[in-house]
Structure 1
Amino acid sequence: MSALDSLLIQCPYCGETLEISVDPSVAEQEYVEDCQVCCQPILLKVVFDDNLIPHVDARAENE
């Protein structure tokens, strides 16, 4: 079982910086997580490259 990595993202609604956890054992992930500040749904797409460096796209759910 692998450990989760913590990343900082910016909420596309309120602009707050949020900490999320991602699983490096899954190369591509897409899921919705609510903002911890404004409670709006954020669509997160996480892709790990060959060096296990995460690339995150955080968008408003309705974009």
Structure 2
Amino acid sequence: MIEHFFTCPYCWQRISILIDGGLPFFEGVEDCEVCCRPITVTARIEEGRIVMFRYEKA
């Protein structure tokens, strides 16, 4: 698992997400750990590293 930190687009707090490093692609909706609002997350993984990470308000 890869822990990736980013800023919530709603409350601007620094939060993290765990992404399976064995997957080539991840897309899903995760709730902010602080304000509980939904965030759409997209990531591309190569060789166990996140090479592209995007997020936006869901």
TM range (shorter): 0.7 to 0.9
Partner residue, 2:48: 52
In structure 1, runs of 5+ residues without a counterpart are none
Asked if the contact 1:31–1:43 (Cα under 8 Å) also holds between the matched residues in 2, the reply is yes
Structure 2: segments with no counterpart, 5+ residues: none
> Normalising by the residue count of structure 2, what TM-score does the alignment of the two structures yield?
0.87
Name the count of aligned residue pairs.
57
Return structure 1 stretches of 4+ with deviation > 6 angstroms: none
Percent identity between the two aligned chains: 28
**1:34-62 per-position Cα deviation (integer Å, ceiling 9, x unaligned):** 0011110000001113x43312111100x
Q: Which structure carries more strand by proportion? A: 2
- Cα-Cα RMSD: 1.1
